[in-house]
Amino acid sequence: MNQQNQHLFSSFTLPNGVELKNRLVMAPMTNFSSNPDGTVTDAEVNYYARRSGGVSMVLTACTYVSANGKGFHGEFGGDQDSMIPSLKRVAQAIKEQGAKAVLQIFHGGRMCPPELVPNGEIVSASDIPAERGGASTEAPDLKPRALTETEVEEMIHAFGETTRRAIEAGYDGVEIHGANGYLIQQFFSPHSNRREDRFGGSLEKRMAFPLAVVDEVRKVVDQHATVPFIVGYRFSPEEPETPGITMEDTLKLVDVLADRGLDYLHVSLADFFSQPRRGVEDVSKTRMEYLLETIGDRVPLIGVGSIYSAEDARKAFGTGVPLLALGRELIIDPDWVQKVAEGKEEEIVTELDKTKQEELVIPDPLWNAIISTPGWFPGV
């Protein structure tokens, strides 16, 4: 192994005592490849198995915690006990290759396509349509319905119930998906949350739902897990909307989350070295610098964003971030981690080879989405 890569392959112990064999994890990525009933397909299981041999931990695509939270065609479900055997298949495929299996739990909120949710009724923190990316963006008459307080409590419980199913299915942990404009973020955002009850209003009240989900998940883990079980939280640092989440808002949220008994925080970034839009004095500093300063040593932070080469990874680790997630690059080259470990950096593939779908074990729905979206992946 190249000596300058030794840090990447040093072990890391999470706050709950779980040891990761190295500092590299697979980022959660939607693959559109489950059955319409929410069960996983053979192609999906094989896709995960192919990518679990080098990384220390695999964060799955998001799984919906309630029927009205399904955000994607081909998303797998965790909303009822009948899904446990399906969930188990993914956990086993990952763990058999030597990685920790972490289930990302999610509700799409106002970003759900109406054809995927019961009666086509989209729900959110408030009845504000999305400005980008959701069905209500194109059709404002599809604006979401605000959840009642009772429904919010039921939703918190649903995140706990899916955590219980993850435990029963043999996962090593869950990641609470509080990023990318979905329901948990919708409660935190001043754009989507215009509530006047205990779940909305001030910044602190807009934190109430995310923090209640964290507390519920941790309570369920304490009740049901017989071995240390990982609980992480993913967040997006900013929103482009006005009003919207600013870097200042996120630093306040992260400051609270860092003391909430989590095993890691995971920022969602397209570019690891991106800079803040607004909400901080010095926009020449990167978002990662601000986050690492705010968090300190209280909880590990996973960084992510356009890491393709080993040099990209070394540069990212140079910031002091303890863990790094690889997303698109593990689809392009499932053997990335092994190649770096074996001193074969020059063999790393950083652009998708459009002739090798079968060799790369990429399910048809994901492959078709990639090929039909120029610019999403290098080489396409």
In the DSSP assignment, the letter for residue 243 is: S
Helix residue spans in the chain (DSSP H): 42-51, 84-95, 135-138, 149-168, 183-188, 203-206, 208-224, 247-257, 287-295, 310-317, 328-332, 336-341, 357-360, 364-371
Contacts of 345 (CB under 8 A, 6+ apart): 2, 309, 310, 339
Distant-in-sequence contacts of 197-201, Cβ < 8 A, 24+ apart: 197/149, 198/149, 199/125, 199/149, 199/152, 200/125, 200/126
Cα–Cα distance between 29 and 5 in angstroms, integer? Answer: 26
**Which one of 182, 233, 264, 290 is the catalytic residue?**
182
- 8 Å CB contact between 90 and 101: yes
Sequential DSSP letters for 5-28? GGGGGS-EE-TTSPEESSSEEEPP
Unique residue bearing structure tokens 């909120």: 109
- Among 206, 107, 208, 112, smallest CA distance to 158 is for 107
Is 264 a residue of the active site? no
Q: Is the dihedral of CA 143, 250, 320, 221 positive or negative?
A: negative
When computed from its CA atoms, the radius of gyration of the chain, rounded to whole angstroms, is 20
Going by C-alpha positions, the residue among 302, 312, 323, 319 that lies closest to residue 345 is 312
DSSP 8-state symbol, 87: H
Neighbours of 196 (CB within 10 A): 9
Active site residues: 182
